[in-house]
Amino acid sequence: MKWLVSRPKKSIKHYLELEARLNSIIEKINYGVSLVIVEGSHDEAALRKVGLKTPVIGFSGSGLPVFAFVDEIVRDYKGLTVLVLLDFDEEGARMAERIMRELEEKGVKVERFFRRTLGELLVREGIRRLEEIRLLKLRTSY
Q: Within a domain: residue 107?
A: yes
Reduced to 3 states, what is the DSSP secondary structure of residue 37?
Answer: strand
**Beta carbons within 10 angstroms of residue 43's beta carbon:** 26
Answer yes or no: are the C-beta atoms of 86 and 39 closer than 8 Å.
yes
Q: Within a domain: residue 1?
A: no
Q: What is the rounded average pLDDT of the residues 23-42?
A: 96
Q: Within a domain: residue 40?
A: yes
- d(Cα 60, Cα 139) in Å, to the nearest integer? 29
Q: Within a domain: residue 5?
A: no
Q: Within a domain: residue 2?
A: no
pLDDT one-digit tens code per residue, 81-111? 999 999 999 999 999 999 999 999 999 999 9
Q: Within a domain: residue 127?
A: yes
Q: CA dihedral defined by 75, 77, 79, 83, rounded to 10 degrees? A: -140
Q: Within a domain: residue 32?
A: yes
pLDDT one-digit tens code per residue, 115-133? 999 999 999 888 999 999 8
Its domain, for residue 117, covers 12-139
CATH number at 31 reads 3.40.1360.10
- Please, which pLDDT band fits residue 3 given cuts at 50, 70 and 90? very low
pLDDT one-digit tens code per residue, 55-85? 999 998 888 899 999 999 999 999 999 999 9
> How many domains does one find in the chain?
1
